[in-house]
Structures are given as C-alpha cells and as structure tokens.
Structure 1
C-alpha cells in the first residue's frame, strides 16, 4: 500500500471529488434534476439562464466556504496531533513516579 503522501503526490487523492455516502444523496440529486427541468420549462430559456447564473454565483460562494472549512478542519486536526504527540511523555508512566497503567 502506498503512503498517503505518495498517493497525494501522484494525484491519487482528490479531496474535492468526494461523493457523499449518505443514503439520501442520490435521491435528492434526482429530485433536484427533476425540479430543474420543471423550472426550465416554466421560466423559458432566457429567464432560466439568468437563474442559472444566480445559482452559479451561489455555488462559487459555497465552494469557497467548503474549501475554507476543509483547510480549517485539516489544520485543527494537525494541531491536535501535534499537541498530543508533544505531550506523549505524559502518557508513558515513569518508574520513579510510581504511576502504573
């Protein structure tokens, strides 16, 4: 098995290409598609194109938020590991202290 860093280097890890495993994800996607077609027919091409531009802007903002949340979460996790590992001597009992596991 390849290391995580090697897989990342070789382009085998794509954090932004995740398909949620939630059981409602695909049914909701189909529902969105059906409603999109319904609105396309109701509004006509010109009005629907304007609505799509609006949704594209919303998607851009959402993508920026997801990226910021990912980066923040990754940094938080890394800092937690650093904190735990920097205090690992506290986890190993010292014979002189009389503490035992």
Structure 2
C-alpha cells in the first residue's frame, strides 16, 4: 500500500468521490429523491424543470461547501485531540517514578 502522504501529494486522494453513507436511511432517501425528480420531470415543462435542476445544483454546491467545512473542522479537532493526548502522555503512566516512558 502506498503512503498516504505520497497519495495526498500526488492528488490521488478523493474521499468525497468514494464515500457512500452506510446509514440505513441513506438508500431509501436517495431512491425517494430519484422518484420525485422523475415525477417532476414528467409534470413540469422543460423550462421549469431546468430551473428546478439549477436550483438543485445550487443546493448541492452549498451542501458540498458545508460538508467540506465539517470535514476540515473534524480533522482539526481530531488532530488537536491527538496533540493533547500525546502532550500529556506522561500522565498516563501510573508509575511515572519508575522511569518508564511511552
């Protein structure tokens, strides 16, 4: 397996393209969205459906920006948790006087 750092440097990491939510409600919601979209495609004029698609694209773009911000925030939070734990690792050693260090 290639190093994560190498893959990141080479632009080979695209988690947003491979993540599929495992929540049990995801697929039924996705099917429901598809069914409603098809219903609107049949019922609306081409012009109105195009406007609906443009609106949907704007919503998806806004949601993508939110997901990106949440990812960055979560990553930073996780990294800060590791820093905090590692900076206080000597507190985890029950017998600090023994000279054993982690």
| Alignment TM-score, normalising by the size of structure 1 | 0.81
Whether 2:16 is the aligned partner of 1:16: answer yes
Mapped to 2, the partners of 1:94 and 1:50 lie a distance apart of: 67
Count, aligned residues: 95
Runs (4+) of structure 1 exceeding 2 A deviation are 1-10
Structure 2 SS opposite 1:19: coil
Structure 1: tracts of 5 or more residues without a match: 97-101
When you count helix as a share of all residues, which structure comes out higher? Answer: 2
Mapped to 2, the partners of 1:26 and 1:8 lie a distance apart of: 30
Match of 2:84 in 1: 83
Match of 2:5 in 1: 5
What does 1:1-101 correspond to in 2, within 5 Å? 1-9=1-9, 11=12, 13-17=13-17, 18-92=19-93, 93-95=95-97
Structure 2: tracts of 5 or more residues without a match: none
Shifted more, 2-11 versus 21-30: the winner is: 2-11
Which one has more relative contact order, counting CA pairs under 8 Å at least 6 apart?
2
**Aligned CA-pair RMSD:** 1.7
